[in-house]
Structure 1
Amino acid sequence: MKKYGFQQSNSDHTLFLKHNKGKVTALIIYVDDMIITGNDTEEISNIERQLGTEFEMKNLGGLKYFLGIEVARSNKGIFISQRKYVMDLLSEVGMLDCKPVDTPTIQNHKFGENSDSVPTNKEQYQRLVGKLIYLSHTRPDIAYAVNVVSQYMQNPSEAHMDAVIRIIRYLKYAPSRGLMFYKNNHLNVEGYTDADWAGSSSDRRSTSGYFTFVGGNLVTWRSKKQKVVALSSAEAEFRGMSKGLCELLWLKRLLTEIGFEPKTEMKLFCDNKAAIEISHNPVQHDRTKHIEVDRHFIKQNLEEKIIKFPFVRSEDQLADMLTKAVSSKVFHSSLDKLGIRNIYLPT
């Protein structure tokens, strides 16, 4: 790719970019599968021809299916889902006729590692969770549930397997859900970050999560247990803000490489006023001494006007569903706001 004038992205090493007279061509590769796109049709034809002299290749036309991800286009936008992958999973585990549930987790249900719990088939558990982890890369609606069950890969019990089965039953309820990308005529970069303080009953560590949007469309998300115990809700939220900021900075670098550098401050919405005040307040006190590195990192980006932290009400905090099991009403309301759709439903 470098021989043909492309540059390897520093943000994603599988991405190669070429700029020519205000136009851009992008190639992204995974093992022996690749996608070529851009607004330079002449360059796209050139690179297809040039690579054809180096490798045995086949042009499959417009993108419809890639690594288990289905792509559909319409005048409304671009829709991606993994419907076939979900149906194959349901068939594999013999649950095509199972009773569906409308949420992947049970609200207020907590389970931890219990020495008295009945062990389950470890290999089967690991295989199923591995498939769910892959699926969660395009299904933010199962991200929190998959984050929880993935923590017990080495010592799963029947209770943990029951949680996995519930996720699969939810997938039966909504096998075709996916992400819709609309042309909203802007490229604003925004995010939502949240943390559930000491939410894990087994070790009292907090779970933090974030959603990020480019041009009003959801592009990345994460739900992950924090590595250390937070001593306050503000500290837990602050650590979550730091992770969300890192993701926004990565998006900013990637967009800049492609040729669409954000022109305004990126927004990271948080529902904890204490955490927002700490990020603006350089004074050292008990609430910040455990998070000094995060505090200086955030403060630097605030001063350089790269980021700002607007307050959002808890009821409007989209990232809430990445940190805890929420009610069915909150869950489905959040999916709609995130742009998660099912284009296969009858209208």
Structure 2
Amino acid sequence: MDVHNAFLHGDLEEEVYMKLPPGFHTADPMKVCRLRKSLYGLRQAPRCWFEKLALALRTFGFKQSYPDYSLFSFVRNGIILHVLVYVDDFIIAGNNLAEIDRFKTYMSKCFHMKDLGKLKYFLGIEVYRGPDGIFLSQRKYAQDIIQEAGLRGAKTFATPVEPNHKLASATGPVLKRPEEYRRLVGRLIYLSITRPELSYIVHILSQFMQTPLLPHWEAAIRVVRYLKGCPAQGILLRSDSVTSLIAYCDSDWNACPLTRRSLSAYVVFLGSSPISWKTKKQHTVSNSSAEAEYRAMAYTLREIKWLRQLLDTFGLYTSRPIQLYCDSQAAIHIAANPVFHERTKHIESDCHQVRDAVQDRLITTEHISTKDQVADILTKALPRLAFDKLLSKFGVRYHPPPT
């Protein structure tokens, strides 16, 4: 559903004044207008609108989720409704069509609403339902990127980034129009919502927004040429997936040649469906690869805790420990051994939350071979064979566009 003129519904609590609109005449030219309702352009407008919306949802019986304040849930007498809000756009999910219709009628009385029917397109994400589950892609968004870059007839690449690249220490002329680079990288960042294989190269390219060089632009164009060969790829949320979390974490020690900071990455699956992934440079320099992997485990643990709280909101609570796969035996031993020793005395205390989580049976740390480490695709540039293998394990696949 969509709300017409959402920001005009908010009620202002502050005193805000505006000049008289053109064409409005009064005997006293010193008079001004005081706003009672929010207007587009006011800094308070988004907050005022959300407060008005949240009040309407709570009046119906919804409860706001603490892990995600934009999620509202209604659970009563076996009826379950969930509403996800993005500014003035709603996604409504539930197990009772009659109750969904009643909720739509209620919202139409509160605001001027537009019913867009079944979810097919939301914020650039295309949704296809099939017997296997729900497929998410950004096919049209990817094609728009290719069209804007003028590469519809260009040669394609099998991988988004060249192995053994030297982009961090690259030299070359500065781009004359850096705003084009920033726009392209910004669009690639949004595309990585359904294209996890882009996380690594997008992470690299986004570090040169201030002063991009020609090699950086050429690397970004290579990503677009990779997209041209597979614009309709996306992720499948399988209908037969179990409701248990499985996480993989990995790190690339001293990945940045300039700062010597390591790169962390994780991917979390709900059953066999990927639901969360990220690539991020660590905040400090690690003294060893084991320490870098241990920090990656701590980084993944924070995401696991948040996802577990979010699943509790959906009524998917599980008491079973979550499996966390890592390809470093040394990091697993550090997590399992709470004894102070030389290799761990310089590691910050927040990283040792991994030890507490293992002892509390929140997670279990499991070793996995490097060649089967799914998160490896998020930390480094891989050759084509390894890239295709891990991409298939990730669950990224092609879906033919609807006719």
**Which residue does the alignment assign to 2:31?**
none
Alignment partner of 2:81 out of 15, 22, 25? 25
Measure how far apart 1:2 and its partner are. Answer: 1.1
Determine if the alignment matches structure 1 residue 154 to structure 2 residue 210: yes
**Which residue does the alignment assign to 1:118?**
173
**Which residue does the alignment assign to 1:202?**
258
**Which residue does the alignment assign to 2:357?**
301
Query: For this pair of structures, how many residues does the alignment match?
Result: 345
Q: After the TM superposition, which residues 47-126 of structure 1 pair with which residues of structure 2 at under 5 Å, given as runs?
A: 47-113=103-169, 116-120=171-175, 121-126=177-182
Measure how far apart 1:74 and its partner are. Answer: 1.1
Contact 2:263 2:379 in 1 (8 A): yes
In structure 2, distance between residues paired with 1:336 and 1:112: 28
Q: Which runs of 5 or more structure 2 residues have no equivalent in the other structure?
A: 1-56
Measure how far apart 1:123 and its partner are. Answer: 1.0
**Which residue does the alignment assign to 1:343?**
399
Alignment partner of 1:179 out of 217, 222, 235? 235
**Which residue does the alignment assign to 1:291?**
347
Measure how far apart 1:243 and its partner are. Answer: 1.0
Q: State TM-score, norm by structure 2.
A: 0.83
Measure how far apart 1:57 and its partner are. Answer: 1.1
Which digits, 9 at most, give the CA deviation of each residue in 1:218-275, with x for residues without a partner? 0010011111111100111011101111111111100011111123110110000000
Contact 2:62 2:72 in 1 (8 A): yes
**Which residue does the alignment assign to 1:325?**
381
**Which residue does the alignment assign to 2:303?**
247
AA aligned to 2:82 is A
Q: Tell which structure's C-alpha radius of gyration is larger.
A: 2
Q: Which runs of 5 or more structure 1 residues have no equivalent in the other structure?
A: none
**Which residue does the alignment assign to 2:195?**
139
Which digits, 9 at most, give the CA deviation of each residue in 1:185-224, with x for residues without a partner? 5211011000000011222111110010112210010011
In structure 2, distance between residues paired with 1:195 and 1:185: 27
Alignment partner of 1:218 out of 274, 285, 288? 274
Determine if the alignment matches structure 1 residue 264 to structure 2 residue 330: no
Alignment partner of 1:236 out of 267, 287, 292? 292
**Which residue does the alignment assign to 1:13?**
69
Contact 1:78 1:181 in 2 (8 A): yes
Contact 2:327 2:369 in 1 (8 A): yes
AA aligned to 1:257 is T
AA aligned to 2:276 is T
Change (3 A) 1:268 1:5: same
Which digits, 9 at most, give the CA deviation of each residue in 1:106-162, with x for residues without a partner? 111122255x52111221111111111011111101111101100111121111111
Measure how far apart 1:345 and its partner are. Answer: 8.4
Q: State TM-score, norm by structure 1.
A: 0.96
In structure 1, distance between residues paired with 2:136 and 2:312: 24
Contact 2:267 2:274 in 1 (8 A): yes
AA aligned to 1:315 is K
In structure 2, distance between residues paired with 1:216 and 1:173: 25
In structure 2, distance between residues paired with 1:309 and 1:100: 40
Moved more, 96-105 or 42-51: 42-51
Please provide the CA RMSD for this pair.
Answer: 1.5
AA aligned to 2:234 is G
Give SS of 1:291's match: coil
AA aligned to 2:134 is I
